[in-house]
Amino acid sequence: MVEVQLSAVQVDLQTKNPVVLLQEKEGLRTLPIFIGPAEARAIALVLEGHVPERPLTHDLIRDLLGSLSARLERLVITELRDKTYLAEMHLDVKGDAVTVSCRPSDGIAVALRTQTRMYVDDDLLEAEGIVLQADSEDEDDLEAEEPEELVEHFREFIQAVRPEDFA
């Protein structure tokens, strides 16, 4: 397993779909995973530091884990099957190891809320990982934008997206 961190939640310019970028912590490879707009928003809320008045779904999962004396030990993106990524949440439930299958986007949203480490299977990262290379102009643009500006661009996308955009 290779430890990764969320490097970005972006909108793919070609498909106009949200994508999370998981970059290996000690390397250059990045695993892009396309996700739905609702999941992208759930992840973006954490990045913004937004605390909802009432718990949203992933907040509820975090709270349920705590109430049941369970702890998310790690999230693992395990494989790509029929163009769909699969993931597992590895839990410690009162000393017992429990593995729960999940969508990567849901697992990422919960892992961010619980400050849990995320991993990608070695073979999967080798097969599907990419090395993102920004040209110097892109690098200058990225350095110029503050994280708040990036989140605002994403928020504008989420507010403007319509169901028919995904048809």
CB 118 within 8 A of CB 90: no
Report the pLDDT value the prediction gives residue 142, as an integer from 0 to 100: 45
Q: Which residue type sits at 99?
A: T
114-154 pLDDT, tens digit each = 999 999 999 999 999 999 876 544 444 444 455 666 666 66
Q: What is the pLDDT of residues 58-100, one digit of tens each?
A: 999 999 999 999 999 999 999 999 999 999 999 999 999 999 9
Structural domains of the chain in order of their starting residue, each with its CATH number: 2-166 (3.10.690.10)
- Give the span between the Cα atoms of 75 and 41, in whole angstroms: 19
The residues pairing with 4 across neighbouring beta strands, listed in sequence order, are 24, 118
Provide the token pair at 157: 């996308």
